[in-house]
Every structure is written in structure tokens, then in C-alpha cells.
Chain A
Amino acid sequence: MNQLNNAFTLFLSLLVEAIPFLLLGVLFSGLLQFFVDERRLLALLPKNPLLGSLVGSCIGFLFPVCECGNVPVARRLLMQGAPLPVAIGFLLAAPTINPIVFWATWTAFRGQPEIVLYRIGFSLLIATIIGWVFGTQKDVRPLLQPALASVLSYRSQASADYSSGTPPLLQSGTYFLGQSARPLITDPSELQAAMVATATKPNGYRLRLLLDNTIQEMRELGGVLILGSAIAAVIQVFVPRELILGLGQSPVTSILAMMLLAGVVSICSTVDSFFALSFASTFTSGSLVAFLVFGPMIDLKGVGLMLSIFKPRAILYLFLLAAQLTFLLTLALNLYIS
């Protein structure tokens, strides 16, 4: 009974510490959807794959979203013509590279500020490398889901028309007259994005959209946070300490265990540092960094969402690259630095 009591106290403490950060993250990402003009942003993006994926990794600062918010944004970026390296860099790094996640991680690991730095550095490095690797694929359509690929096919056809001298306003088949197989906008979320981006609606309407968005995200992410906190509390209280120490003290198994946990628990990146904190005394620093770097990139929940962009094959590549790079970097951290 006492153990149960401890577990519930721990569970509540994780929630009470995490909920303010979750709310902040949700409000911020909602607000920025109104203020950042994605189309103007796209015009500024570099075309070079390496530079593109680096910039893509960093624009998370403009969209403080965690891994549930970044998938729809990455999808919109791709549809509006962002190069693949930019979108991949953004997809992998945005959940980590943003001010609210920095603050939350700093709060949790006040005693070990180096964890914050490793988290940022490794995430940027891995996202940039993977974005660059994907940049070598000239035609990205085979990697994408058919609906998204067809939008891109239409775009490239349209730009070919443009370069062949037809003025953009006179392009054929743009609208609904049946000359082209594809209408301009096939996807409701892009339609919505376009509506939001050019919103000239009254403020009351926009406030209600923001409110709806906040409530939906709180509901979804709050649910995942509750499940994640419950798992952390149960492991901490009920799994025998010898077992955890045995697993957590070895440089290799600790990393593998934490990466597995990150993949399964799917906790939101604004609050995952509090989850990791409950393992800080028993697990190696490298494994904590592995959890904080790998979790936001690939987890069960995120894979479900990514299927709205990529074919399973592309997600497998992403997963393999991210897992290997995280493992190698954090192993080096365990063996040579700490």
C-alpha cells in the first residue's frame, strides 16, 4: 500500500511539473501558426542539401511544436515546395530545437547542464546528417505517400510550364475545368493552412480557432503524458533496484534500454526531460541523452503520424539512421567523456 502511495505521489509530481510546460508549448505553437507566414519563409530557404537540412533543423525555433505538431507542419512545408532535406531536418529536430524544450530540459537537469548541451548538439547533428542523406535522392516522390506525391508531381509540372515560358497566370489545368488530372489543392489540411495563413477573419474567430487547437492538443498530449508518467512511476517504484542498476550502469545496455523506452513511451518532447529525470540517479548520462535525442525523432506515436507523409520504407530508413547515429554518439559520450 505504501509502495502504491509512493508511486502515485511520484506520478502526480511528474504531472504537476510537466503540465505548465505542456500548456506553454501548445499555446505557443497555436499562436505561431497565426503569425509565421510559411510561404514567405519558404522563399528564403537555401537549395543546397546540407545547408537546407541545417536550416530546416533550426527553424524549429519559429515553430515551437513537439512531435505531434511537427508532422502536420512538415507536411505543409513539403506541399508548399520545401526541399526534402529542409523538411526532414525540420521533422527530426523541431521537437527538440525550440525554446520551450530548452527551458524544460534546463529545469529538469539544473544539476547537469551538460545534458542540455548534448541534447541540442546531438539532435542538430543527427537531423542535419539525415536530411543531407535524404537530399541525395533526386526524385523524392517514391518515398512519399501517393496523395502527397501527386501534389508534388503537379507542382513540378507547373514549374516546368513556367520555365517553358507560359506566364503563371495562364497555366493550364490549374483549377477545376478538367484539363488537368489534379486540382490545385487536394488536401484539407493544406486548404486549412492556406486559410489560416491568409486569414482576414475577425479576431474573435481566430481566438476560437486558437482555443480549439489548444484544447485538442491538451487532450491528446495530456493523455500521452499521463500514460508516460504512469510508466515512469511504476518502473521507479516496483521494478527491483538491482535490475535497474544492472541495466542502467553498463554503457551499452543503458543506452539500448533508454532508446527502447523512448520509442515505446512516446512522451511529448516538452516534458520528456522530467520523465528522464526519474532515471537520472540510476542510468548513465549517455543513456539519458539517448532518450532525450531519440525519443522526439522516432517513437510509436510519431511513426503513426509520419505515415501521413512517408511510405513505410522511408520511415524505416529514418528510423535506422536515427537509431544508429544516436547510439554511436551517446556511446562515445559514455566511453570517452563522462
Chain B
Amino acid sequence: MARLSFRSLLPWLDVMAIAAWGIALLKFWLTGQLFLLIHPNYGWLTIGAAVALLLVSALRAFFIWKASRRPGRQMPPMQHLSLFPPGWGSILMLIMAIAGLVFTPQAFASQTALDRGVADSIPYTRVKPQAFRGTIRSEDKNLIDWIRSLQVYPEPDAYAGQKAKIQGFVVYSPKLSEQYFLLTRFAITCCAADAYPVSLPVKLTTGDRKAYAADTWLEVEGQMITETLDGKRQLTLQANSLKPVPQPKNPYNY
């Protein structure tokens, strides 16, 4: 008897699993958490999918309800190759959608940056600069703009003395002395799975980096200089002022 009632609940399980994913996707969008998960270019795809999933589940619910009122007219069962025992796929989807509704995605922080290898160059596989804008004011460039400029023209001396104002979070690199930390941001091309860190070393004029805890978001203003760090000449930001800022709503650069 219990088996029978489980079977009769299966169609409703499908409806719930699909609707739950529609709701979860909408929740990511409405709470702005979508920015933490995927590149904004694909936001509309997610929203469209959410609407379509809700539509499919609503239609399905309507047909089940209609069929239950006229028990004589059942749908012909459609033969289908199954991988899971009945109900498993839906239960898995339903549980994960609920987990997604409850859980708040986190932006990646310094530990992930160190794990993934902070670098001041974009690996060759990543999006290349589409245009080299020489006329942009150096204070207006964000972190990834600086890295892209460096990729096109890597000589650090070429930027010496230029003013900069960039935002990012603090990463302590074990290779740098107490006077330096890495100002870091993550960049993504598609979704969080391919997020990669980019960073510039920041040189403090006074004190040591302990005043700025790892993962603190800062806006750093200063001038570009060239320093030899870890045996390599590198573009470094000499900080004049460091101002704590809240973590941006959209913490990634593109």
C-alpha cells in the first residue's frame, strides 16, 4: 500500500523538483547572488530558464490535476530509457534546489586565490584585451585593466609615476616581505568554476601589512613604481592612502 501511494506521488515529485529549480534560479537573480555565480552576460539565460521551468511545472501540475479528476483517461505511458530508480532523479534535484534556496553563495577569498595561484599576468588561455585604450585616465583603470595593459606592454618602467586608484581584497603572499601585500580580484569568463585571481603588489610606506587583515576590501590610491620582488621586476603600487570599502555587490572583474 505504501508502495502504491509513493508511485502516485511520483508525478507531483517531478512537478516540485522542476518548480523548485525555477524558484531557486529566480532567487539567485532577485537577491543579486547571480553575480557571484556566473558572468552577467548569461544572466538572461538563467532568468529565461527559470520562467520556462516554472511554466513546465505549472502545465504538468494542471494535467495531473485534470487526469486525477477523470481517472478513466490516463496518459499512455511513454517508454523511456531510465538510469535511476523511479523518483531518484527528482528527489536529488529537489534536495539540491532547496539547498540552493537556503545557502548563500560566497565570493571567493584569499585562500582560494593562493590555491589557484595569484599572478600578475593573465594565463595565455584567458580572454585577451579586445582594445588597448591608451587615452583612458590611469586613475580610472581597474585592476584587470592594469593587468591587461601589462600583458600588452609588460615593461613596468613604462608605467612609473602614473597615478592609480584600484579596489581589491588583501592577500598575503608568503613570497613577499612584511611591507607588501597583493591587492587581488577574481576575474571570470563564464562562471565561478573558471574564476582566476589577478593581483598587483602594493607597497606600504609606513608600518607593516598586519594593519590590513587578509580578505579586507580596500581602495588603494598611489603611484606606480617598479620593484624587484621574488627575483622579478614587477609593477608595484606605492600606496598613499588605503581606505577600507565594503565588498562590492559584484566582486568579480571581467
Residue B193 lies at the interface, judged by CB distance under 8 Å to chain A: yes
Q: Which residues of B contact A (CB under 8 A)?
A: 14, 17-18, 21, 25, 28, 34, 36-38, 42, 45-46, 48-49, 52-53, 56, 59-60, 63, 75, 78-84, 88-90, 92-93, 96, 99-100, 103, 105-106, 108-109, 111-112, 115-117, 123, 125-128, 189-194, 196
Chain A neighbourhood of B56, CB < 8 A? 211, 214-215, 218
Beyond A71-B81, A219-B14, A236-B193, 16 additional pairs, beta carbon < 8 A: A2-B111, A6-B108, A9-B36, A15-B96, A20-B45, A111-B126, A111-B127, A213-B78, A214-B56, A216-B78, A220-B82, A220-B84, A220-B89, A222-B89, A223-B84, A281-B116
> 1/0 per position for A160-173, CB-CB distance to B under 8 A?
00000000000000
Q: Is the contact region of chain B dominated by helix, strand, or loop, or is it mixed? A: helix
Q: Which of B63, B115, B117, B193 has the most CB of A within 10 A?
A: B193
Cα distance, A275 to B17, chains bound together (Å): 22
Q: Is the contact region of chain A dominated by helix, strand, or loop, or is it mixed? A: helix
Complex A-B: 6 CB contacts under 8 Å: A3-B111, A9-B36, A16-B25, A17-B42, A107-B42, A220-B83
Interface positions of A from 22 to 60, Cβ below 8 Å from B: 23-24, 27
Cα distance, A19 to B47, chains bound together (Å): 11
Chain A neighbourhood of B48, CB < 8 A? 20
In the complex the two chains form, is B78's CB within 8 Å of A13's CB? no
Cα distance, A324 to B110, chains bound together (Å): 42
In the complex the two chains form, is A10's CB within 8 Å of B192's CB? yes
Using C-beta atoms within 8 Å of the partner chain, give the interface range for chain A. Answer: 35 or more
In the complex the two chains form, is A20's CB within 8 Å of B49's CB? yes
In the complex the two chains form, is B89's CB within 8 Å of A23's CB? no
Chain A: which residue is nearest B103 at the CB level? A8
* Chain A nearest Cβ from B215, distance in angstroms: 10
Cα distance, A300 to B182, chains bound together (Å): 45
Chain A neighbourhood of B83, CB < 8 A? 68, 220, 223-224, 301, 304
Chain B neighbourhood of A15, CB < 8 A? 96, 100
Chain A: which residue is nearest B63 at the CB level? A208
Chain A neighbourhood of B89, CB < 8 A? 219-220, 222-223
In the complex the two chains form, is B103's CB within 8 Å of A12's CB? yes
In the complex the two chains form, is B127's CB within 8 Å of A223's CB? no
Kindly identify which residue among A13, A20, A215, A308 contacts B193, using a CB–CB cutoff of 8 Å: A13
Residue A112 lies at the interface, judged by CB distance under 8 Å to chain B: yes
